[in-house]
Amino acid sequence: MKKICSIILVVGMALIAVSCQQKSPVTEPVSEEPQINTTMEDLLTRRSVRQYTNEVPPMEVIEEICKAGTYAATGMNRQSPIIIAVTNREMRDRMSQLNAQVMGREGDPFYGAPVVLVVLADKNVHTYVEDGSLVMGNLMLAAHAKGLGSCWIHRAKEVFESEEGKQILAELGIEGDYVGVGNCILGYVVYWVK
């Protein structure tokens, strides 16, 4: 039996906790017709994107990507990772600044992306890094499948170990031994015409 895993959407300053659907066991092929293997295509064509427009993608697309994240495999099915979906500009900028501070640099480590999906996992679960990393992988692939750009941005661990990072988690009502695994930035890709 699956336990409920959490997606926390930071929309404006509102906080919405969304429960993911339970995964049901696959007992028969999804389709009898051979499908074009879009999974393989997505795996082979996803690339990290480092230039974005300001436009925030529709919330239902963000939620769908998060949902794909919650379907990642986890060690012993402990499902400890959580995803914080940040679309609020103020919060996004605050996290960007904290991330830059870890590097001792100025500038925006999120490359202008309007959305950040922060993955944290419970350090009491011994596979938490692997579990959180698989969630990150799902998020990036799902973003690509939905026509959005993404990139793993590191230093989530250091950000949420800092006093201000802890303060953000407290403001969002997140309690427990959560460690930052990664930030998946999301948005529409800027294409250059040659």
Ligand X SMILES: Cc1cc2nc3c(=O)[nH]c(=O)nc-3n(C[C@H](O)[C@H](O)[C@H](O)COP(=O)(O)O)c2cc1C
Residues that bind ligand X in the complex, under the rule CB under 6 A: 47-48, 50, 151-154
Angle between helices 128-145 and 38-45 (to 10 degrees): 100
Shortest distance, CB of residue 177 to ligand X, whole angstroms?
A: 21
Which residue, 1 or 44, is less far from ligand X as judged by CB?
44
Shortest distance, CB of residue 173 to ligand X, whole angstroms?
A: 27
Angle at 193 between CA 51 and CA 39, to 5 degrees: 60
Closest listed residue to residue 182, CA positions, set 126, 125, 137, 115: 137
Q: Is 79 left (phi over 0), alpha (psi -120 to 50) or beta?
A: left
| DSSP 8-state assignment for residue 185 | E
Which residue, 9 or 149, is less far from ligand X as judged by CB?
149
Shortest distance, CB of residue 50 to ligand X, whole angstroms?
A: 6
| DSSP 8-state assignment for residue 70 | H
CA atoms of 20 and 7, how far apart (whole Å): 8
Which residue, 50 or 166, is less far from ligand X as judged by CB?
50
Which residue, 125 or 151, is less far from ligand X as judged by CB?
151
Shortest distance, CB of residue 138 to ligand X, whole angstroms?
A: 13
CA atoms of 34 and 187, how far apart (whole Å): 32
Which residue, 5 or 141, is less far from ligand X as judged by CB?
141
